[in-house]
Amino acid sequence: MSPRLILTREAASWPPKWRAALRVYHDRQLGLLSIEHDGSIGWDELQAIKNRIAGEDAAAIEVYPPAGRVVNNIAMRHLWLLGQDDWWPDLGGHDGTAKPTSLRDRYLAVQLSTGGGQ
């Protein structure tokens, strides 16, 4: 994984409506946005960050792992950007064709290419 710091609160381009976020990292290979925050970030701010970085038409998800696999040592939220062919449960009733392996395939490809997970 190779996340890059792309936005920081100290930058002149920081949107004033982003009040809880401190820094935004982007791993383009994995399609991962990592948002460091002050502990009070909400859905609207995460949505605005996703829209700014990935676009308003992009879909992203968060993963809540089993209790034994939680890593929670910093106030950070992770948004996994879905690919065009990824399926996700659209609560608005616009489900498309299911191709559920796309995110997994991308993740495994990066792990293999970087020697991760060993």
pLDDT bucket at 115, cuts 50 / 70 / 90: confident
Contact of 55 with 69, CB cutoff 8 Å: no
Query: Which pLDDT tens digit goes with each residue over 76-96?
Result: 999 999 988 787 777 776 665
Kindly state the DSSP code that residue 69 receives in the 8-state scheme: G
Question: Domain limits of the chain?
Answer: 4-114
Rounded Cα distance between 76 and 61, Å, is: 14
Query: Which pLDDT tens digit goes with each residue over 36-61?
Result: 999 999 999 999 999 999 999 999 99
Kindly state the DSSP code that residue 68 receives in the 8-state scheme: G
pLDDT bucket at 97, cuts 50 / 70 / 90: low
pLDDT bucket at 117, cuts 50 / 70 / 90: low
Name the pTM for this structure.
Answer: 0.77
The position carrying tokens 């997970």 is 117
pLDDT bucket at 111, cuts 50 / 70 / 90: confident
What contacts 12, CB < 8 A, 6 or more positions away?
A: none
pLDDT bucket at 100, cuts 50 / 70 / 90: very low
Rounded Cα distance between 6 and 53, Å, is: 9
Q: Is 34 helix (H, G, I), strand (E, B) or coil?
A: strand
